[in-house]
Amino acid sequence: MEFSVIDYNGHVYVPLRFVADNMASDVGYNADTGITSIDQHSIRFDDAVAAPKPEVVYEKRLRNGSVWMQDIPLLQGNSCWVECIQDSRSDLTLLKQAEYPPVEVKPGSYIGIRYTKGMEPQQMECSVITNADGKELYTAVEMDQGRIRLPREPGVYPIVLRSNWEQGYTTYLFAVKIV
C-alpha cells in the first residue's frame, strides 16, 4: 500500500496507518471520545535484540465467568539467536536439575502462548515430553490461535515450546500438574 505525505502550512502530515505499521503498532479509535491513537506494545527485530521470550499463561476460569491469567515461569532450553546456548542434558534432566515446580492446573484447561507483536515466530510447536525406557518421547500438542488445551488425566506434564525465525530459534520448558 502506498501512502502520501502532506506538507501544509509548515506542518507535515502522515497517515497514522503508515506510522503504526512501521512501529509494529496498532491504530485504535474510541468512538465515545473521538480519539484515534497508536498503541505501541511491541518492538521490531534488529541485530541487538535478544532472543524473543514468549508469555505463557494458565487461563484459569473463575466462578463469576472471568478469566484470570497466571504467568507460567519458563526455563530456557537450547536456543540459537545472536549466540547459541547448547546444553547436552535432556529436556527432562534440565527441568529436574533446575528443581522446576510444576504449575497446578485444572483438567482440560488452557495455556495461552504469545509473543510480543512484531516478534511472532514463523513456526511454533508445543510438545509434551514423556520418558519411556530411558528415552524422551515428544508428543505434539495441537495449538489453536496460540492456545493449547491440557489433558484431562491427572499427572505432571513437562512441556517444550519450540519457535523458529529466520534469525534463529528458541526452546523453552515448563511443566504443569493437573489436579
For residue 48 the three cell numbers come to 541487538
Looking at residue 51, its pLDDT comes to 82
- What mean pLDDT do residues 129-140 have? 90
Residue 60 clears pLDDT 80, i.e. is over it:
yes
Looking at residue 40, its pLDDT comes to 59
- What mean pLDDT do residues 51-55 have? 90
Confidence of residue 83 (pLDDT cuts 50, 70, 90): confident
The percent of residues in the chain predicted with pLDDT above 90, rounded, is: 53
Residue 45 clears pLDDT 50, i.e. is over it:
no
> Does the pTM exceed 0.75?
no
**Mean pLDDT for the chain overall:** 86
Q: What angle do CA 114, 42, 91 make, to 5 degrees?
A: 35
- What mean pLDDT do residues 35-62 have? 72
Distance of CA 152 to the CA centre of its chain: 23
Q: Which of 29-38, 82-91, 94-103, 159-168 has the lowest mean pLDDT?
A: 29-38
What SS3 string covers the chain?
Answer: CCCCCEEECCEEECCHHHHHHHCCCEEEEECCCCEEEEECCCCCCCCCCCCCCCEEEEEEECCCCCEEEEECCCEECCEECCCEECCCCCHHHHHHHCCCCCEEECCCCEEEEECCCCCCCCEEEEEEEEEECCEEEEEEECEECCEEECCCCCEEEEEEEEEECCCCEEEEEEEEEEC
Residue 41 clears pLDDT 60, i.e. is over it:
no
Give the strand pairing for 35-39 and 79-80.
unpaired
- What mean pLDDT do residues 62-91 have? 88
